[in-house]
Amino acid sequence: EIVAMARCLSDGVSDAYIQDVTVKKEFRGKGIGLFILSHIKTFLLKRGISWIGLIGAPGTEKFYELAGFEKMENFVPFILRIQGK
Domains and CATH numbers, the chain: 4-66 (3.40.630.30)
- Is the pTM for the entire model greater than 0.75? yes
pLDDT tens figures, 9-67: 999 999 999 999 999 999 999 999 999 999 999 999 999 999 999 999 999 999 999 99
User: In this predicted structure, what is the pLDDT of residue 72?
Assistant: 92
Give the whole-number percent of the chain exceeding pLDDT 90: 94
HSE on the CB side for 53, CA within 13 Å?
A: 10
Nearest-5° Cα angle at 20, 78 to 33? 135
Q: Quick one: pLDDT band at residue 85, thresholds 50, 70, 90?
A: low
